[in-house]
């Protein structure tokens, strides 16, 4: 087993452009939100099915497979074989998980996978599932293995290890081990504590006790790539250009003569979504950009220039900043801020959409991490940390059908598609920005004065980060206006000004994040400029907390 507690996994990816305000719409209208689209996969696309047993690393397996230019989908372990078979997979990967296979009720793979003659790779708990289901024995290990270990390859002819040295570092995370191999299997590699750290059979069924998907197994991607190419026979056809042409063709078939609306936020997800739909159906698409008054400096102007002037899209601009600020007057609770912003967005967006006449489809930029979080078994029971805060949802009474062309893409794939579509780099590489905007970067009540202070401070942070050529290396970097004031001295005079916090993090998908080790001279320039150029601020601090235990945003 992986020995990872996933029962309280955070159910929102925090600061990524994700999800919708459909729950809020449901409460407003007393109706169920519009149904989510069914999974559809091109029969011509080579696919790997990843059976998810609840490991915190499952989404990393999918990322690594995609990085090898092979399409894959995560499927819950208790889905019927028919669903897996419908993907026409070229191979199957069994993920890790927190259980022990010898416990009563432990999750197992559909038995049909072993009769399918498809190549199978089990990772950690997945290897133990293979062993248990095919007649071997798994038991608690006398010595648990957590962290780095050295793998010694005993079968140099194994295709999984082609091109690798005879010994290599790997990442272990397990408390069980194989004590008896299934019939027809042999040990392919071992570590000091695991005599069967990798196993295989002549039926192209393999198991790895370690995790090749994590960065702590430096050559793990090569092992995954060997499985995909050498064992499954994949050719690596999952490329941005293929995705674009296939998606545009599917969108034309889906929309036909219908009309589509799309909420633009200025971020890469909605931009790529709108561009794909526009390439497919042209003027049948109408985009709506709602300025909620909580955007960063010059953001509405840049977005409109991009979509109207450069991309020639039909964009309706709605300045609703006064409405949003009225709804936020006196509000200090962050969750109430989010909900009021969500409610107001739905009202504004719904009203504008109704003025367009008959509309058939709603396009939105849902990404694959959102799908994973909403469909995997562990996250169904996860506690809500924050209300999902990005926009694009409408209540069911509008009878709109959803178009989610990015539904099976990770963030890095979205950026690759954006570049292939010719979108401006400042859109493609724009750091994620929360739907509630600056409202959740202002601690306490949101006022016009505080918004201007924060816009000025945030502009300086972004300017200095870009000048230092660090913008693309960071997942997010921004300023937070706290509700604290402190005494200072400027020009021999006493001041009593706001404290601004600077936040910069590195991450792959915002599920976890680490604070960025920015150079001291860069932090000094940011601090000096904010204190000297932003009226009302006399102190700057740097947030050095990772996620978890914190979230990326302060509220």
Q: Is 454 in contact with 442 (CB distance < 8 Å)?
A: yes
152 is catalytic: no
- Give kind and range of the element (H or E) at residue 22: helix 22-29
How many CA within 13 A on the CB side of residue 443?
A: 13
Which of these is catalytic: 59, 69, 174, 211? 211
* Joined tokens for residue 312: 């020639």
Q: Which runs of E-coded beta strand occur in 491-545?
A: 493-506, 514-515, 537-542
Catalytic residue among 213, 299, 373, 413: 213
Distances (CA, A) of 150 to 172, 182, 210: 10, 24, 10
Q: Give CA separation, 461 vs 17, 454, 458, 534, 542, in Å.
A: 21, 10, 5, 12, 11
Does residue 211 have an active-site annotation? yes
Distance CA 16, CA 366 (A): 10
Residue 343 is among the residues annotated as catalytic for this protein: no
Q: Which is the catalytic residue, given 72, 124, 232, 262?
A: 124
Burial of 124 (0-12, 13-18, 19+ CB in 10 A): buried
Q: Which position has the token pair 């009563």?
A: 104
**Which residue is listed with tokens 């994949």?**
234
DSSP state of 306: I
Q: Would strands 91-94 and 47-52 be described as parallel, antiparallel, or unpaired?
A: parallel
Secondary structure of residue 145 in the 3-state scheme: strand
The conformation of residue 230, written as its DSSP 8-state character, comes to: I
- Residues carrying an active site annotation: 124, 211, 213
């Amino acid at each position: 087993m992986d020995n990872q507690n996933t029962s309280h996994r955070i159910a929102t990816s925090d600061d990524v452009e994700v999800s919708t305000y459909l729950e809020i719409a449901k409460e407003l209208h007393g109706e169920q939100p519009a149904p989510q689209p069914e999974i559809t996969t091109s029969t011509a696309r080579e696919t790997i099915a990843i059976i998810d047993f609840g490991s915190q690393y499952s989404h990393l397996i999918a990322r690594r497979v995609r990085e090898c230019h092979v399409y894959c989908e995560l499927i819950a372990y208790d889905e019927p074989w028919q669903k897996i078979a419908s993907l026409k997979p070229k191979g199957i990967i069994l993920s890790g998980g927190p259980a022990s296979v010898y416990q009563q009720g432990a999750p197992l793979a559909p038995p049909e996978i072993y009769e399918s003659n498809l190549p199978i790779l089990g990772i950690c708990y997945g290897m133990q599932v293979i062993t248990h289901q095919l007649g071997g024995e798994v038991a608690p290990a006398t010595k648990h293995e957590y962290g780095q270990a050295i793998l010694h390859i005993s079968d140099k002819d194994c295709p999984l290890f082609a091109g690798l040295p005879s010994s290599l570092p790997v990442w272990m995370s397990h408390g069980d081990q194989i004590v008896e191999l299934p019939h027809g299997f042999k040990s392919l590699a071992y570590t000091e504590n695991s005599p069967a750290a990798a196993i295989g059979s002549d039926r192209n069924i393999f198991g790895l006790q370690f995790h090749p998907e994590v960065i702590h197994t430096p050559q793990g991607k090569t092992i995954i790539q060997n499985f995909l190419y050498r064992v499954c026979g994949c050719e690596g056809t999952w490329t941005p250009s293929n995705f674009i042409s296939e998606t545009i063709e599917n969108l034309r078939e889906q929309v036909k003569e219908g009309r589509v609306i799309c909420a633009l936020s200025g971020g890469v997800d909605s931009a790529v979504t709108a561009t794909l739909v526009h390439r497919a159906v042209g003027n049948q698409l109408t985009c709506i950009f709602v300025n909620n008054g909580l955007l960063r400096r010059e953001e509405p102007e840049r977005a409109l220039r991009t979509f109207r002037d450069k991309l020639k899209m039909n964009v309706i601009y709605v300045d609703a900043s006064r409405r949003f600020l009225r709804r936020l007057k006196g509000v200090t609770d962050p969750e109430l801020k989010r909900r009021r912003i969500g409610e107001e967005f739905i009202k504004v967006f719904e009203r504008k959409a109704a003025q367009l006449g008959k509309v058939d489809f709603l396009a939105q930029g849902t990404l694959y991490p959102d799908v994973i979080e909403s469909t995997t078994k562990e996250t169904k029971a996860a506690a809500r940390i924050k209300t999902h805060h990005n926009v694009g949802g409408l209540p069911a009474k509008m009878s709109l059908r959803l178009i989610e062309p990015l539904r099976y893409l990770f963030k890095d794939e979205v950026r690759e598609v954006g570049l292939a579509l010719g979108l401006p780099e400042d859109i493609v590489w724009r750091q994620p920005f929360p739907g509630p905007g600056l409202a959740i970067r202002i601690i306490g009540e949101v006022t016009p004065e505080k918004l201007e202070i924060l816009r000025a401070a945030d502009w300086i942070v972004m300017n200095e980060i870009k000048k230092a050529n660090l913008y693309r290396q960071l997942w997010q970097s921004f300023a937070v206006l706290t509700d604290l004031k402190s005494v200072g001295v400027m020009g021999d005079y006493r001041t009593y000004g706001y404290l601004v916090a600077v936040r910069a993090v590195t991450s792959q998908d915002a599920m976890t994040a680490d604070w960025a080790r920015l150079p001291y001279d860069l932090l000094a320039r940011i601090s000096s400029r904010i204190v000297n150029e932003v009226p009302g601020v006399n102190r700057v601090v740097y947030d050095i907390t990772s996620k978890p235990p914190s979230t990326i945003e302060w509220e």
